[in-house]
């Protein structure tokens, strides 16, 4: 027994020596699961390159569903391609006005963070969905556990983005969802509220 304790102490010391001061060491126990959310066609009605805050309409049930996910312990992170900026249809300021209106309608403090990619597909941005880059940025910034997280969106690229990042994924049939290939999505849901009900179903209630 004494020898076992000695070995344990030596192992602990070894680990302590490997923790270099000033360098962040990943602490898996502190990572939290997240819900990565596409914006247009998933949380708000698809409005074809929406650049007008007056056109922001929430999809019914979204506020209650987001509240339930937050209460269950998920961080809520919007991941959105905004190629309308790169295509010259609207400016970053227009995008920000629409985003502000969305957050205002959802209510203070519900969404934890938003990441957007302004570039057009031709620009071949390394961040644009289906690339997992924005999800990885969020995971690094917020300390997120991707294996316990989900991506919900209305396009195949949302499902692909989630899977590429190591999350599970749900395709919703709002927005462009009806015309999209669900691919290997874990679930296809009528809308965001149904996707949330699936994630929080009693058999799998904890994230």
Choose the binding region for Mg ion from 17-25, 116-124, 175-183, 192-200 (rule: CB under 5 A). 175-183
Nearer to Mg ion, 144 or 157 (CB): 157
41 binds Mg ion (CB under 5 A): yes
Nearest to Mg ion of 145, 158 (CB atom): 158
Of 75 and 176, CB closest to Mg ion: 176
Q: Would you give the distance in Å from CA 106 to the centre of its chain?
A: 16
Report how many residues bind Mg ion under the rule CB under 5 A.
Answer: 5
CA 10/CA 70 separation, integer angstroms: 41
Contact 165, 151 (CB under 8 A): yes
Active-site residue flag, 181 = no
Which residues make beta-bridge pairs with 116? Answer: 80
CB of 135 to Mg ion, least distance (A): 15
Mapped onto helix, strand or coil, the DSSP state of residue 182 is coil
Q: Rounded CA gap, 196 and 68, in Å?
A: 8
Contact of 59 with 38, CB cutoff 8 Å? no
Which one of residues 34, 35, 37, 40 is an interface residue with Mg ion (CB under 5 A)?
Answer: 40
Angle formed at CA 124 by CA 94 and CA 156, multiple of 5 degrees:
80
Q: Site for Mg ion (CB under 5 A): which residue of 94, 154, 180, 191? A: 154
- Binding to Mg ion by residue 162, rule CB under 5 A? no
Residues with a catalytic annotation lie at 38, 40
Point out which residues bind Mg ion (CB under 5 A).
Answer: 38, 40-41, 154, 175
């Amino acid at each position: 027994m004494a020898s076992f304790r000695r070995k344990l102490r030596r192992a602990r010391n070894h680990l302590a020596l490997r923790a270099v001061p000033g360098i962040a060491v990943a602490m898996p126990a502190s990572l939290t699961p997240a819900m990565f959310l596409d914006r247009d066609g998933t949380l708000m009605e698809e409005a074809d390159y929406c650049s007008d805050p007056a056109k922001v309409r929430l999809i019914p049930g979204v506020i209650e569903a987001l509240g339930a996910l937050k209460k269950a312990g998920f961080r809520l992170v919007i991941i959105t391609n905004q190629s309308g900026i790169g295509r010259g249809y609207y400016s970053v300021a227009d995008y920000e006005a629409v985003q502000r209106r969305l957050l205002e309608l959802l209510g203070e403090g519900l969404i934890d963070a938003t990441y957007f990619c302004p570039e057009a597909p031709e620009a071949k941005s390394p961040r644009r969905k289906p690339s997992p880059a924005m999800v990885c940025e969020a995971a690094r910034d917020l300390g997120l556990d991707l294996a316990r997280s989900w991506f919900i969106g209305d396009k195949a690229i949302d499902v692909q983005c989630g899977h590429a990042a190591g999350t599970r994924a749900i395709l919703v049939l709002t927005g462009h969802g009806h015309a999209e290939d669900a691919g290997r999505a874990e679930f296809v849901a009528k809308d965001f509220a149904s996707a949330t009900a699936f994630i929080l179903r009693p058999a799998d209630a904890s994230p």
